[in-house]
């Protein structure tokens, strides 16, 4: 593993709030240290917002909404494409900033940048379809005429997590702008740097002042104030289920709309007829991409009993050989976890798995010294009552159990309070389709890595989601439906 020079940024890192088209200081002058998870050193301090700053941002967004909602879909599409081209032009800088702040390998960060570009381009195309003002509704045996209008929801609050900075933001921001909403964005206090740089790109794209506002800060200060603000019409939150419950309770006080993208505890089901090489690749990718910090992590492996010895042996070898280290070093396959609280949480789960009687097959090597590095870990024969089998870990911990029949696999995969994703690995096309129909998950991959396209949907069943993101569903999340019924003739 050869070292690679740390990135040198050719302009200063953004550290201020972005409100009403201006970079400004917070009311309280509080600061948040932003830490490099590979070294545990402070990169920079950014301004931390307060409820007063949230109020300023929301009121700016409310003023801007009056004009922004009147723009045509074609006009909004022009802004979205300008943002996409800005991200494209600064792609390598954004990828480096992502790896520096989040800790993911630079190759993964480049994938993230491509996702951001594709999302803004997709919603630019979708925005152009909005210039048909009304949709006629057929009313049989009536002399009345009915039409539907789709109108922007208003000022929306976007609260995004630290595991996919910029990506989760794009999934929310692009459709919100396409719909004609104005936005107040709260980035994670752990990873504000990529989001602030994305805001600078939006500013350079010429978006009118107040249409996008960015207020970094803590969840208890900024997140709560944004969720409860009376001028915010809709809150879209991605994060843990526990915090999602708090967001929903807070939003209920003013009966505002919510979209929630929350946790997962997902399975990959490997049948005996599966291609073994493909199965290993899909298990490793589903469990260890982004150091396992994914709500979609398929960290529960269900393998048909006759294939289990071979799959476990191959997985153990791959897990043990996973190269963990500095995200800018050549050959690194997994970086550190993004923050200390998550590092400590994952270590507690590993200890819990051992205490619960799961068989520890691999706990591979990680670099010595500083950094939130966790050794990729693999358990087999995990009790179904164990927390490592039932709870979302959000780290590089893989659990394996065997099954005997297709029905057993379905029951085991669905035995969870979550329902975000699932993967099926089989050569039997009919079986793959049966499994996709039986699994309680919003996204099912069959013999495929976890590819997510802007044109499709994202979200799940049970405690994983309320609503859907991406595709036309993501746009609809930021629209209100207005029904207009007209009499055929007005009486004299």
pLDDT at 2 (0 to 100): 45
Q: Which superfamily is assigned to 267-454 in CATH?
A: Aldehyde Dehydrogenase; Chain A, domain 2 (3.40.309.10)
Residue 405: CA atoms inside 13 Å, Cβ hemisphere, count? 3
CB atoms under 10 Å from CB of 312, counted, come to 20
**How far apart, in whole angstroms, are the C-alpha atoms of residue 327 and residue 334?**
7
Which residue, 192, 188, 186, is CA-closest to 13? Answer: 192
pLDDT at 492 (0 to 100): 64
Report yes or no: 323 and 334 within 8 Å, Cβ to Cβ. yes
pLDDT at 12 (0 to 100): 81
Which residue, 413, 436, 385, is CA-closest to 298? Answer: 413
Which residue, 214, 217, 228, is CA-closest to 183? Answer: 214
SS (H, E, C) 239-306: CCHHHHHHHHHHHHCCCCEEEEECCCCCEEEECCCCCHHHHHHHHHHHHHHHHHCCCCCCCEEEEEHH
pLDDT at 445 (0 to 100): 98
3-state secondary structure of 450: coil
Which residue, 301, 265, 282, is CA-closest to 421? Answer: 265
Six-digit token pair at 19? 């409100």
The full length of the chain comes to 492
Query: At which residue do the structure tokens 């994914």 appear?
Result: 294
Query: At which residue do the structure tokens 């979550």 appear?
Result: 418
3-state secondary structure of 27: coil
Ordered by start, the domain boundaries in the chain are 17-262+465-482, 267-454
CB atoms under 10 Å from CB of 23, counted, come to 16
Query: At which residue do the structure tokens 């350079």 appear?
Result: 204
Q: What is the DSSP letter of 334?
A: B
Third-level CATH fold of 17-262+465-482:
Aldehyde Dehydrogenase; Chain A, domain 1 (3.40.605)
pLDDT at 489 (0 to 100): 72
Report yes or no: 208 and 180 within 8 Å, Cβ to Cβ. no
Report yes or no: 103 and 367 within 8 Å, Cβ to Cβ. no
3-state secondary structure of 274: coil
pTM of the model: 0.95
Q: Which residues are catalytic?
A: 261, 295
Residue 44: CA atoms inside 13 Å, Cβ hemisphere, count? 17
pLDDT at 139 (0 to 100): 86
**How far apart, in whole angstroms, are the C-alpha atoms of residue 262 and residue 239?**
5
CA dihedral 369, 373, 375, 376 (to 10 degrees): -160
Report yes or no: 333 and 322 within 8 Å, Cβ to Cβ. yes
Per-block mean pLDDT, blocks of 10 residues, the chain (492 long): 58 92 94 96 96 98 98 98 98 95 97 98 97 85 88 98 97 98 98 97 97 95 96 97 94 94 97 98 97 97 98 96 94 96 95 94 81 95 96 97 98 98 98 98 98 97 97 97 86 66
């Amino acid at each position: 593993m050869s070292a690679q020079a740390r990135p040198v940024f050719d302009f200063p890192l953004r550290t201020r709030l972005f409100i009403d088209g201006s970079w400004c200081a917070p009311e309280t002058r509080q600061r948040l240290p932003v830490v490099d998870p590979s070294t545990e050193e402070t990169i920079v301090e950014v301004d931390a917002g307060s409820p007063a700053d949230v109020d300023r941002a929301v009121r700016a967004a409310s003023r801007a909404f009056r004009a922004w909602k009147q723009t045509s879909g074609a006009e909004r599409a022009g802004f979205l494409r300008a943002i996409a081209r800005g991200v494209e032009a600064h792609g390598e800088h954004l990828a480096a900033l992502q790896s520096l702040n989040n800790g993911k390998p630079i190759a993964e960060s480049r994938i993230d940048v491509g996702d951001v570009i594709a999302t803004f381009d997709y919603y630019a195309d979708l925005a152009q379809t909005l210039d048909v003002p009304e949709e006629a509704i057929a009313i049989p045996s009536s002399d009345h005429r009915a039409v539907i209008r789709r109108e922007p929801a208003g000022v929306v609050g976007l609260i995004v997590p630290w595991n996919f900075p910029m990506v989760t933001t794009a999934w929310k921001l692009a459709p919100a702008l396409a719909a004609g909403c104005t936005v107040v964005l709260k980035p994670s206090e752990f990873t504000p740097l990529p989001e602030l740089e994305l805001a600078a790109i939006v500013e350079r794209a010429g978006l009118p002042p107040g249409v996008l506002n960015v207020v970094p800060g803590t969840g208890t200060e900024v997140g709560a104030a944004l969720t409860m603000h009376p001028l915010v019409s809709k809150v879209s939150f991605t994060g843990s289920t526990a915090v999602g419950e708090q967001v929903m309770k807070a939003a209920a006080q003013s009966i505002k709309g919510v979209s929630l993208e929350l946790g997962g505890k997902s399975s990959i089901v490997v049948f005996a007829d599966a291609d073994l090489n493909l199965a290993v690749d899909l298990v490793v990718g589903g469990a260890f991409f982004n150091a396992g910090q994914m709500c979609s992590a398929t960290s529960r492996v269900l393998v048909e009993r006759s294939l289990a010895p071979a799959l476990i042996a191959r997985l153990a070898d791959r897990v043990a050989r996973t190269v963990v280290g500095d995200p800018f070093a050549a050959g690194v396959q997994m970086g550190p976890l993004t923050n200390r609280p998550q590092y400590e949480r994952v270590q507690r789960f590993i200890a819990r798995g051992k205490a619960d009687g799961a068989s520890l097959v691999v706990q591979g090597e990680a670099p010595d010294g500083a950094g939130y590095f966790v050794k990729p870990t693999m358990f087999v024969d995990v009790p179904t009552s164990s927390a490592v089998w039932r709870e979302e870990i959000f780290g590089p911990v893989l659990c394996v159990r065997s099954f005997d029949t297709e029905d057993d696999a379905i029951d085991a995969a669905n035995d969870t309070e979550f329902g975000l994703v699932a993967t099926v690995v089989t050569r039997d096309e009919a079986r793959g389709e049966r499994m996709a129909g039986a699994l309680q998950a919003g996204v099912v991959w069959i013999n495929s890595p976890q590819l997510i396209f802007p044109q499709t949907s994202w979200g799940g069943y049970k405690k994983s989601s309320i609503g859907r993101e991406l595709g036309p569903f993501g746009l609809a999340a930021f629209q209100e439906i207005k029904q207009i019924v007209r009499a055929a003739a007005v009486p004299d």
